[in-house]
Chains A and B, each alone.
Chain A
Amino acid sequence: MKKAFVLALAVLATSVVAASAQGSQTASARSLASFNCSKTITLPFVTPITGGAGFLGAEQMSWAKYAVKTLAPGLKLKVKLVGGDTPVEQGPAPAQTLAQKYIGTPSVLAVLGPSTSGAVAASTKAYASAKIAHISPSATRTTLTKTVGGTFDGSNAFFRDVPGDYIQGPSDANFMVNSLHVKKVVIMDFQEPYSLGLASAVDGTLKAKGVSTIRLSAPNTTTDYSAYVTKVPSDADIVFFPTQKPGDAQTFAQQLIEQGKKAKVFGGDGSNNAAEFKQPGSYVSNFAPDITGIPADAKIIAGWKKDNPGKAVGSFGPPSYGAVQIALTAISRACKAGGGSTTRQAVFRTFKKVSIKNWILGGSFKWSTKSNDPLNAKFYIFQIQSNGSYKLVG
């Protein structure tokens, strides 16, 4: 008897799922299906809104929201921003499910994110097959914008508006050698894609210049670094610390002092947060100068601050604004070219043609011809002063 109940419930359950369906177009036709640009466009942002890197997603979403609010009317588009949460604790797998969800939504013409390199690797093939361009403000792993052979062939649907590790790594390493004259560097990684990629890039460049390097690896969940500090040699000059949690960089710097080591902490763009990482003498590298110093951005910053009272301008937010700008500009141009309607494929093709004059990160934005990265991107190195402020040194 129970079995009947079971079956009935099963049928009910499956029909509930069916009822919550989204769209009924067949697969391949959708990338060429025409979309009327006067209807509301859904712009999903795949980023870790909750979980260990939730501060990243929250910051990026707030800037994306502001960008949509201020830019969409000017481009004559009706845009709805939705967040797709990919908490880092669950790895890249949720990104694949979300990719399916957005591919199946006809009002999606382009996607923001995923924000983490692993999630991009997991979902970019699906987006490429569906001809949906996706642009990330923070996934910096080198191989993502270059195909497996190392060359770029135009079929890659992934774009990013910040430079990759292949720029940050050597740039940081060169600074260490040329300006800091290091002889011995300890390089840490946290057993996840961002830090591993960056650590390898820095390691390679330093070794090529004859600096002796020591590699240490800590689980991503580590909070007490005492054991690792013990292994830092007393004559090491720098500890390269590519963490995504600025608080950990602070802890490490403090524990270095506690154990009397002279090495200074050098953080990547993930540790860029003046409120949490403020140990004087440490270094931070970032893909943008502090945008509060760019006069053209003053209006944007003021507007964002009004919408987000009490929050500080971080380093992950402005590239998200830029990503929205690029995406909406591409959509708007494709719509104009298509006479009021466009397809996903058309938007994809238009992406690479977009250039922005007053780029929020300074100067102007153009795509590199060799990959889906910004042209001539560079990294900026800061040193933390005794009052906790970041001073540009390289």
Chain B
Amino acid sequence: MSDSTPHGFHSTGAEGPAIGQDEWVARHADVRFLPARFAVVERRLRGVPWWAWLTLFVAVFCLFPIVEPSGYVRQVAFQTVLYMLLALGLNVVVGWGGLLDLGYVAFYGIGAYAYALLDSPHYGIHLPTLVSVPLIVLIGALAGLVLGLPSWRLTGDYLAIVTLFFLQLFQTVTTNWQNVTGGPFGILNIDPFGLPGGHKLQPEHGGVFAVSYLYVALAFFVVVFVALRLLNNSRTGRAWRSLREDPLAAEAMGMPVNWLKLLAFSCGAAVAALTGSMYAALFGNVFPLSFYFVTLITVYTMVILGGSGNQAGVVLGALIISPLLEVLRDADKSRVLFFVALVGGLVVLGRRNRRIAVVAGATLVFGFVLHAIARMIDGRWVAGHPGAGSFARFVEHWVIAPEQPARWIAPAAYVGVIGAALLCTVLRGIVRDVALVPTIYLGAFVWENVMLAKPEPARYIVLGVILIVLMVIRPNGLLGERRVEIV
């Protein structure tokens, strides 16, 4: 984490480089995140070692279930920890090794199925957890090795195709090899984790998710985080960095480039397999479709959002995306989320451009006016979709929500808003500001009427949009470092 520098935040009023110090170094060393007033605070905070931050984070996370006893929220927290682990593993492959591994969740599935086979009534084997979990990590590493071998000489694009097909193959094998994997029926009644001494951790009490699993997951998370960080700060990590920056130069310097790639692959696979075993142990069932394309894109979004190559970043990415996906299942919460995001986006844009405040105000007025006109024309045009809660009622007065919209409205509005948004990225100046007003309103209309009606695809559309926008605007994500590829 010390290898990344915040982008776009330049120091103001530095006194100049110290004697003997390079100007570029000084400029970057003097970068501040907060305004100059808090310089002392910032310097103190920077001095705090990374493990202290980690401890603080884990402590907060541990306190969380005590504050919130709802089984659902705890389960989402557990899933978030699983995603954090997956993101850490993918970070090794994509961020540190620079390999585009599109078959990553197949290793997740391999870990889950391996645990299911070793600790369930399926074959009647019930290995103690202390034996099966390390075994699964080993299996994962071996699987990574095996998949990595054919890609020995493959460049990034070919590797992507081969790994993608491996994912498809994993799906085919688990679905068809019924004798071994249970086929589409999956494997059920998998044993939960057991502590040494025989006591088994129950996944749930009276149907509600048990907290002990969350702690176990956090423990694994800490172990993996620390282990990977140590690995990154060692010779291997430095070798990976050089491999990433310029593979040709690295090879010329005598680095075993292919072995390094294989190592990255294996490490990522091992972490994924470990996470798979936790998944199987808690949920008690594994099915082929849980480890497919959708999971892959979700983990990738987390890694990209957080910043590939930066451990804290990918954890942050997981922390943002996982609860986000859950919140988006619910129409009322999604509505709030949309408007918060909208206002947040306008504020961020407004820091550079004061006119945005005018645009926001104009959109507000525009909305109310349009709503009033629509209501005068035909009451049914604004009669639909009563949400729950006071915020929903407020929005009802602003957004036009027809009761039974004609079938062509949804596709037309959707395509319209995309076209308008794309157009706004091309326009400049006052024309753009004027165009933004109907675009924003149309966006709210589409969100309310089209996307909230079908939250499932809407969730994934949000993911896809995040990926595209991130890549175009800020490919290094939130905390990653900006890479310059030397051609």
Residues of A within 8 A of B (CB): 1-7, 9-11, 13-14, 16-18, 20-28, 30-31, 49-51, 85, 87-93, 96-97, 99-101, 103-105, 118, 121-122, 125-132, 191-193, 196, 217, 219-220
Contact indicator A10/B57 (Cβ below 8 Å): yes
- With A13-B319, A121-B188: A3-B53 Cβ-Cβ less than 8 Å: yes
Please give, as numbers and ranges, the residues of chain A lying within 8 Å of B1 by CB-CB distance. Answer: 2-3
**B329, CB-defined interface residue at 8 Å:** yes
* Nearest chain B CB to A343 CB, angstrom units: 13
User: 12 A-B contacts, Cβ less than 8 Å apart?
Assistant: A3-B50, A3-B312, A7-B56, A27-B204, A88-B289, A91-B292, A97-B72, A100-B208, A121-B188, A129-B207, A193-B184, A196-B183
- With A28-B206, A192-B184: A125-B70 Cβ-Cβ less than 8 Å: no
Contact indicator B456/A21 (Cβ below 8 Å): no
Please give, as numbers and ranges, the residues of chain A lying within 8 Å of B45 by CB-CB distance. Answer: 1, 3-4
- With A1-B32, A11-B60, A20-B73: A31-B185 Cβ-Cβ less than 8 Å: no
A127 to B64, CA, bound (A): 25
Contact of B285 among A25, A30, A92, A103 (CB under 8 A): A92
**B457, CB-defined interface residue at 8 Å:** yes
Please give, as numbers and ranges, the residues of chain A lying within 8 Å of B234 by CB-CB distance. Answer: none
**B236, CB-defined interface residue at 8 Å:** no
**B283, CB-defined interface residue at 8 Å:** yes
- In the complex, the chain B residue whose C-beta lies closest to that of A22 is B70
Contact indicator B205/A27 (Cβ below 8 Å): yes
* Nearest chain A CB to B204 CB, angstrom units: 6
A344 to B240, CA, bound (A): 57
Please give, as numbers and ranges, the residues of chain A lying within 8 Å of B42 by CB-CB distance. Answer: 1, 4
Contact indicator B184/A118 (Cβ below 8 Å): yes
Contact with A along B67-98 (1 / 0, CB 8 A): 11111110111010000000000000000000
**A interface, over-half SS:** helix
Contact indicator A6/B312 (Cβ below 8 Å): yes
Contact indicator B77/A17 (Cβ below 8 Å): yes
Residues of B within 8 A of A (CB): 1, 4, 6, 32-34, 42, 45-46, 48, 50, 53, 56-57, 60-61, 64, 67-73, 75-77, 79, 172, 175-176, 183-186, 188, 204-209, 283-285, 287-290, 292, 294, 312-313, 315-316, 319-320, 323, 326-327, 329, 333, 454-457, 479
- With A7-B56, A16-B323: A130-B186 Cβ-Cβ less than 8 Å: no
**Looking at A6, A11, A21, A25, which has the most chain B CB atoms within 10 Å of its CB?**
A6
Please give, as numbers and ranges, the residues of chain B lying within 8 Å of A217 by CB-CB distance. Answer: 176
Contact of B33 among A5, A13, A14 (CB under 8 A): A5
* Nearest chain B CB to A125 CB, angstrom units: 7
A91 to B209, CA, bound (A): 21
* Nearest chain A CB to B171 CB, angstrom units: 9
* Nearest chain B CB to A217 CB, angstrom units: 7
A126 to B208, CA, bound (A): 8
Contact indicator B457/A50 (Cβ below 8 Å): yes
- In the complex, the chain A residue whose C-beta lies closest to that of B31 is A1
A192 to B316, CA, bound (A): 36
Contact indicator A93/B290 (Cβ below 8 Å): yes
Contact of B183 among A50, A128, A191 (CB under 8 A): A191
- With A91-B289, A193-B185: A2-B312 Cβ-Cβ less than 8 Å: yes
Please give, as numbers and ranges, the residues of chain B lying within 8 Å of A3 by CB-CB distance. Answer: 1, 45, 48, 50, 53, 312
A129 to B61, CA, bound (A): 27
A7 to B204, CA, bound (A): 30
- With A10-B316, A85-B456, A89-B289: A196-B184 Cβ-Cβ less than 8 Å: yes
Known: A6-B479, A27-B208, A92-B186. 18 other contacts (CB 8 A): A5-B33, A10-B57, A18-B67, A20-B73, A24-B68, A85-B456, A93-B287, A93-B290, A103-B72, A104-B72, A121-B186, A125-B284, A131-B206, A191-B176, A191-B184, A192-B175, A217-B176, A219-B175
A30 to B204, CA, bound (A): 14
- In the complex, the chain B residue whose C-beta lies closest to that of A89 is B289
Contact indicator B455/A104 (Cβ below 8 Å): no
Please give, as numbers and ranges, the residues of chain A lying within 8 Å of B4 by CB-CB distance. Answer: 2
A141 to B142, CA, bound (A): 37
Contact indicator A27/B71 (Cβ below 8 Å): yes
A48 to B290, CA, bound (A): 15
Please give, as numbers and ranges, the residues of chain B lying within 8 Å of A130 by CB-CB distance. Answer: 206-208
Contact indicator A10/B456 (Cβ below 8 Å): no
Contact of B456 among A11, A31, A87, A129 (CB under 8 A): A87
Contact indicator A118/B287 (Cβ below 8 Å): yes
